[in-house]
Structure 1
Amino acid sequence: MDQPLISVVIPAYQHAASLPGCLESVFAQQNVRTEIIVVDDGSTDGTLEVLEPYKAKGVRVIHQENQGANPARNRGLAEATGEYVIVLDADIIMRPTMLCDFLAQLQAHPEASYAYGSFYFGWKHFHGVPFSAERLRCMNFVHTSALVRRADHPGFDPAIKRFQDWDVWLTMLERGKTGVLVPGTYFLARIDGKSRIGSSWLPSFVYRLPWKYVGWKPMRVAKYEAAREAIKQKHKL
């Protein structure tokens, strides 16, 4: 029996330098069938030129005017045809067994809608924890790049500029959809100097620290707190 198709959606904006590494890690995936869709969100750094040779390898490249991360993600989701989908940040390097291990966990747990694992963000190791609806309502612990049953993916709210991943998992939770942890560390998110405060997967101890120990400036803290409050209000937490 053929393996089910996995759609790998990669939104990209000014990621000419990091895309080759990301794509090569997709090509290196073991024992899975994939379609690769890269959505270039109006890059001006030569991203399209970098992607040109990959078209011959089956990568589908979609170019659109700059609209932001969530519209780019949604464009890729709309074009996806696989039974499963992963929205992969362009700065990620996956372990070769990531997709097949995530797929196996979902097949073993038909009650779960998505699978996720531990990862590195630069030198920081973010340890995955078993799925808990109660914990998810308090803080995010699932990275955007989880493997999701495509029929269950709600898409990304264009109005949400930070905590986009948390918003997705909370929306799914409200629809009765849950996740499952895959033990192990599966990818590296490389740090390229761009702010990643919009991502909400922070270790739980950060939420209990005085902000001066986190090293964030007051304005950044204020934006972080405002974004977190917007998610809480949207989902009535």
Structure 2
Amino acid sequence: MKRLSVIIPTYQHGFVIGECLKSLCSQTRLPDEIIVVDDGSVDNTQEALIPYRHRIISMYQENQGEQAARTRGFQASTGEFILFCDADVVLQSTMLEKMERALLDHPGASFAYSSFRFGWKIFRSFPFDPVRLRHMNYIHTSSLIRRSDFPGFDPAIKKFQDWDVWLAMLEVGKTGVFIPEVLFCVQVDGKRGGISHWMPAFMYRWPWRLLRWKKEARRRYETGKGVIKEKHHL
């Protein structure tokens, strides 16, 4: 059996990281290591980790952002399969088993991904399609990746880091395998901050985007998308 590492970057997620860890420790295929990188939280994150201290590798750093936290976790990991899992993600009990099986059954695939739930809404992904991927990101960060094919995160990319990774892999001939099931849920609490700022694209097109803070979010969205398009010549 290949080693499987889960990397959790977290910032101010003490209120929810316990649910994430509970779901990881309840998997039908347990991870070989769980690495939690606390990116300078000042809430109760460290206290929330105590019940899992014998199941995790806990790291702490001054606040540098989620990309630096993910990279540090990756550098410390040993798995041949890697899952980047934000602290607000809760996994179905069979997620790791099914993603690992998908990669074992498709040795030519570099990563396995699935549909997921974002709060109350289900986001159904699509079978791997290079044309569609160059048009839009339909693959969530929480996908199982072969370590040997992972290109690393570009420190110059501040938004859509996951899309950048999938496109970088696509450009060297790598592909993914789709599991047509909802295998995890992203918990949503708009009143709290945190490391996961992922928001479905359709939400930026709602009428309430005219509110000042939504206009700023949309501006960052469009700017980030432009950076990706320029880098990958989309």
**TM-score, normalized by the shorter chain, greater than 0.5:** yes
Give, in whole Å, the separation in 1 of the partners of 2:207 and 2:105: 39
Does the 8 A contact of 2:10 with 2:195 survive in 1? no
1:198 is displaced (CA, Å) by 5.0
1:141 counterpart (121, 138, 141): 138
Superposed, which structure 2 residues align to 1:61-140 within 5 Å? 61-140=58-137
1:52 is displaced (CA, Å) by 2.6
Give, in whole Å, the separation in 2 of the partners of 1:71 and 1:214: 34
Does the 8 A contact of 1:166 with 1:200 survive in 2? no
Identity fraction in percent: 47
**In the alignment, does 2:34 pair up with 1:41?**
no
1:223 counterpart (220, 223, 226): 220
Does the 8 A contact of 1:116 with 1:147 survive in 2? yes
SS at match of 2:169: helix
Q: How many residue pairs were aligned?
A: 228
Unmatched runs of 5 consecutive residues or more in structure 1: none
Does the 8 A contact of 1:4 with 1:33 survive in 2? no
Does the 8 A contact of 2:3 with 2:32 survive in 1? yes
Give, in whole Å, the separation in 1 of the partners of 2:113 and 2:43: 31
CA distance 1:198–1:176, change in 2 (3 Å) = farther
Root-mean-square deviation (CA, aligned residues, Å) is 1.9
Give, in whole Å, the separation in 2 of the partners of 1:68 and 1:88: 15
**In the alignment, does 2:39 pair up with 1:60?**
no
CA distance 1:190–1:33, change in 2 (3 Å) = closer
1:134 is displaced (CA, Å) by 0.7
1:199 is displaced (CA, Å) by 3.0
SS at match of 2:53: helix
Cα deviation code 1:48-99 (max 9, x no counterpart): 122133222x210011111000000000111110110000010011000000
1:197 is displaced (CA, Å) by 8.9
Give, in whole Å, the separation in 1 of the partners of 2:184 and 2:87: 12
Higher mean C-alpha displacement, 175-184 vs 79-88: 175-184
Match of 2:21 in 1: 23
